[in-house]
A and B are shown apart, each in its own frame.
Chain A
C-alpha cells in the first residue's frame, strides 16, 4: 500500500478499507496502536508509548508519516503457530513443573509469554523464564491443577521428544527502559516467578548495577521453588532474594510494600502473579510515588 503525500498510516488504512480502531487521531488515546514487524516506525509515531512497546515496534498510525516501508500487524497478532519439541518435563515443587522445549526460530525477551498449544483446542499462555542468549531451550513453569486439561496432558501423555506448537511471543514484561543503576524490584507469587527469573537473568546479563530485590511469595514452603538456584545466584551475583510464605505470616505483598514504599519513586518494578496481587501492588506502589512507566506487570488467571 502506498501513502499519498501528507497522509498518515491510519488515513491510508481507512482509505483502503482496512478496519482500524481509532478515536482521537492525535496520538492521545492509543486505541489505534499497531505493530511494525519489519522496518522502524518514525520516533514521532511512538510518542507516549512505553520503552518496552517501542522496543517491540509498536506505534500510533494516526501520527505516523513513515519515511521507509513498514510491515505492520495488529497489536495482538501472535503470528502463525510453529512446531516445538519437548526437551524436558520435570518437577520443580509438589505442584509446579518445568517444561523445556526447543524450536527453530523464535525470538523473544525473557519475561514475555507465549501460547502453548498441546492439541487443537487445548492451549494456554505461559511466561518465559529462559534467556535466548544463554539457553538453547524455552523454559516455562507450569502449575499443575489436578483437573486441569493441560496439566493432565503434560503429566500423563507428553514426553521428551514429543511435538507441540507455540505461538507468540507477547507481552511487555521484560527488561527494557530500566536504567543500569536504578533499583530493580521484582515481586511475584507462585509461578509468577517464571517471568521474574527471566527478567532477573536478563538484567544481570546486561550488567544491571543498581540494587536488585526479588520477592517470591507462596502459600507455604512447599510452594516455593528454585530456592537453591536463587540462593546460589543471589550469593554469586549480589542481589537480595526474599522468599515469603503465608503460613509463617509472610504476606509477600504486605512485606514488599512496607519495604519498597519509601524508595518507590526511583525504583523499577516488575510484578507477576495472580490478578489481585498484581492490582493491589500496582496501585499501592503508584500511590507511594512509583511512576506508572516504571511498573511493568503480568497478571494471570489460572487455568489448568
Chain B
C-alpha cells in the first residue's frame, strides 16, 4: 500500500495545495491575526512543510520544533478553537482540489496528531 503522501500526489499535491490553503487561512477572521507581520515567503515555506507533514510525507517535525515554533502564538492566545479552524481550512482546501473524503480524513488525523505539541501541552 502506498503512503498517503504518495496517494495524494506527493510534492506536486503539496505545491498545488499550499497557496490555496494559505489564502484560506489568511482570509479566515478567526485565525488571520496570528499571521500579522509575518513574511509571506517564509510563511509559505512553513505551510509547505506543515502540509508535507499532514500528508504523511518526508518531514523532520519533532514535538520540540512544534512547541518552539508556536510558543509565541500560544502566548498570544492560540487555543484548540484555532487549531480546529486551521484543520477546517485544510479540509476545505483538499475538497476544493477534489481529494476523496477518506484521504481528507486521514490528513485531518495526521494534522490533529500534532495538536498537543502546537499548543504546548
Contact = CB atoms under 8 A, between A and B. Distances in A.
A283 B40 CA distance: 8
A25 B26 contact: no
Contacts, number: 36
A25 B41 contact: no
Contact-residue size bin, chain B (C-beta under 8 Å from the other chain)? 10 to 19
Contact of A286 (B23, B58, B59): B23
A286 B40 contact: yes
Contact of A24 (B40, B41, B44, B59): B59
Contact of A292 (B44, B52, B60): B44
Given A283-B40, A286-B23, A291-B19, A30 B59 contact: no
Nearest to B39: A279
Nearest to A291: B19
Interface residues of A, number: 16
Nearest to A295: B40
B40 A25 contact: no
B27 interface: yes
A176 to B, nearest CB: 16
A37 B48 CA distance: 28
B92 interface: no
A9 to B, nearest CB: 18
B60 to A, nearest CB: 4
Interface in B45-79: 45, 48-49, 52, 58-60
B5 to A, nearest CB: 12
A93 interface: no
A14 interface: no
A28 B41 contact: no
A282 interface: yes
Contacts of B52: 28
Contacts of A179: none
A287 B49 contact: no
A209 to B, nearest CB: 26
A287 B27 contact: yes
A292 B48 contact: no
A291 B23 CA distance: 10
B58 A292 contact: no
B40 A26 contact: no
Interface in A24-48: 24-26, 28-30, 47-48
Interface of A: 23-26, 28-30, 47-48, 282-283, 286-287, 289, 291-292
A-B complex: 3 closest residue pairs judged by Cβ atoms: A24-B60, A26-B58, A28-B49
Interface of B: 11, 19, 23, 26-27, 40-41, 44-45, 48-49, 52, 58-60
Given A28-B58, A29-B45, A291-B19, 15 more contacts: A23-B60, A24-B49, A24-B59, A24-B60, A28-B48, A28-B52, A28-B60, A30-B45, A48-B48, A282-B40, A283-B40, A287-B23, A287-B26, A292-B19, A292-B41
12 contacts: A26-B60, A28-B45, A28-B60, A30-B45, A48-B11, A48-B48, A282-B40, A286-B19, A286-B40, A287-B26, A291-B19, A292-B41
